């Protein structure tokens, strides 16, 4: 689902500190909600909560529970290390400089 990628992206941006379930669900809601596709905050929160619980059960899971209600990507999992690299590359793409308008101004002398 589309939420899964957003959850993982948010956890990758959060780094080793991790984020609470409430903050993760708020970020996912803000990223996926639109005028033409309105979402319910409670449904997004329930999905995020169940995703994090399912994916943090074992020691080698993609997500690890840091403390009560706080999750982060598991640094010992190879897939999470790959996600750090992937999302870091997505963020660091260089932006093109705006082209300066060099046309003549009709109103200056």
Computed over every residue of the chain, the mean pLDDT equals 79
What pLDDT score does 89 carry? 56
Q: Is the pLDDT of residue 47 over 80?
A: yes
Residue ranges and CATH numbers for the domains of the chain are: 2-90 (1.10.10)
DSSP type of residue 101: -
85 Cβ contact partners less than 8 Å away, ≥ 6 residues apart: none
Q: What is d(CA 49, CA 46) in angstroms, rounded to the nearest whole number? A: 5
What pLDDT score does 84 carry? 55
Output the 3-class SS for 22-63.
Answer: HHHHHHHHHHHCCCCCCCCHHHHHHHHHHHHHHCCCCCCCCE
Query: For 98-102, which contacts have Cβ atoms below 8 Å and span 24 or more sequence positions?
Result: none
Task: Name which of 87, 63, 61, 71 is nearest 18 in CA terms.
Answer: 71
Whether the CB-CB separation of 12 and 88 falls below 8 Å is answered with yes
- Place 10 in a pLDDT band, splitting at 50, 70 and 90: confident
Write down the pTM of the prediction: 0.68
């Amino acid at each position: 689902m589309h939420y899964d990628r957003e959850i993982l992206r948010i956890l990758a941006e959060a780094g080793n500190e991790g984020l609470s379930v409430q903050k993760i669900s708020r970020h996912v809601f803000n990223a996926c909600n639109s005028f033409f596709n309105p979402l319910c905050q409670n449904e997004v929160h329930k999905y995020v909560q169940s995703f994090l619980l399912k994916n943090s059960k074992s020691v080698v899971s993609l997500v690890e529970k840091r403390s009560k209600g706080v999750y982060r990507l598991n640094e010992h999992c190879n897939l999470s290390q790959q996600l750090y690299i992937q999302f870091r590359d997505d963020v660091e793409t260089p932006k093109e400089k705006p082209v300066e308008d060099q046309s003549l101004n009709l109103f200056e002398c």
